[in-house]
Amino acid sequence: MRTRWLDRAVREADRARKEVVDLTRAIVALDTTNTGAPDSGNESLVAEFLADYLRREGVPVTLVGRTPERNNLVASLPGSRRGCGLLLLSHSDVVPAGDPSTWKTPPFTPTIEHGRLYGRGAADMKGTAAAEVVALLVAHRLRVPLRKEVRLVCFADEETGGAFGSGWMRQAHPELLKADVALNEGGGRRHRVGRGLHYGVAWNEKGRHEAVITFSGAGGHAATPWRGDNAIAYAAEFVDRVRKHQPDPVFDRTLLAGFRWVP
């Protein structure tokens, strides 16, 4: 049963590629530049556009925001059991476009050249927002039987801290962010392995690991530098090696052993 629904969903998703591109172009054209000022962003332009897009096909939508101009979009498909199984996350604000003269085409006039879509926010992350909206619509159109709710949240104010987006929602509407699994941007890159393509998914969220590293050396006189052992040189070499290090992706199916998730 699950294989049949998955095959249908994949075929429908393939047919919806143009819809994803067209929807991306439509919302890239909406200037939602977030400078960090409270009155910037105007993310309601995108939230209201996507809300209308989803409502036309009967998908329930809610707009919530700290201010009317900076709304967050919430849309969902119900499941047969309680709780949200999958949370699709994106954001509608973009960083400033900078000097217009550095752009080959206007930043808010989406343009396709050589199979790529150019425009401020196309990659970060209105393209993903459009893909998630269409994914939700594909499941809705096919009436895919879901065990748990699938919810889409498109935040405002991701680029400058989330005071009008995820941070505010966490305080004002925490129930809308609870889910078994959340899918967000930045998980990994595309890699070719053999004759196939693998798409990376990073588990958990970004974090940090603090360490104290000591470099030892020996003092010396400027007239006899060969007798010294400069610890600063070792530290500089270490920092440079860390900067250049690019870890190889790991493709190990055994890492998924025992993991089973069905929406």
Q: Is 60 left (phi over 0), alpha (psi -120 to 50) or beta?
A: beta
pLDDT at site 262: 44
Catalytic site residue from 93, 149, 157, 159: 93
Q: What are the pLDDT tens digits along the chain (263 aa)?
A: 566 778 888 899 899 999 999 999 999 999 999 999 999 999 999 999 999 999 999 999 999 999 999 999 999 999 999 999 999 999 999 999 999 899 999 999 999 999 999 999 999 999 999 999 999 999 999 999 999 999 999 999 999 999 999 999 999 999 999 999 999 987 666 777 777 777 767 666 667 788 999 999 998 888 888 888 989 999 999 999 999 998 776 666 555 554 444 44
Contact 47, 73 (CB under 8 A): yes
* Domains located in the chain, CATH noted: 2-191 (3.40.630.10)
pLDDT at site 96: 97
- Please state, in angstroms and as integers, the Cα–Cα distance from residue 175 to each residue in 87, 120, 156, 170, 195, following that order: 12, 32, 18, 8, 43
Q: How far apart, in whole angstroms, are the C-alpha atoms of residue 73 and residue 64?
A: 7
Whole-number percent of the chain with pLDDT over 70: 89
Catalytic site residue from 43, 132, 157, 158: 158
pLDDT at site 65: 97
Question: Which is nearest to 47 in space by CA: 39, 38, 55?
Answer: 55
pLDDT at site 188: 65
Side-chain-side CA neighbours of residue 56 (13 Å): 7
- Please state, in angstroms and as integers, the Cα–Cα distance from residue 190 to each residue in 25, 110, 185, following that order: 23, 24, 13
- 14 labelled catalytic: no
pLDDT at site 177: 96
* Helix (H) or strand (E) run with residue 77 in it: strand 71-77
- 93 labelled catalytic: yes
pLDDT at site 259: 46
pLDDT at site 249: 66
Tens-place pLDDT, residues 23-69: 999 999 999 999 999 999 999 999 999 999 999 999 999 999 999 99
- Which alpha helices (H) appear in the chain, and where do they start and end? 2-15, 17-28, 44-55, 127-142, 166-172, 231-244
Maximum C-alpha span of the chain: 82
Mean pLDDT of the chain: 89
Q: What is the 3-state secondary structure (H, E, C) of 131-150?
A: HHHHHHHHHHHHCCCCCCEE
206's tokens: 């970004």
Contact 67, 130 (CB under 8 A): no
pTM above 0.85, yes or no: no
140's tokens: 């809705």
Name every residue whose Cβ is closer than 8 Å to that of residue 219 and which is 6 or more positions away in sequence. 228
Question: Which is nearest to 256 in space by CA: 206, 201, 205?
Answer: 201
pLDDT at site 178: 96
pLDDT at site 205: 61
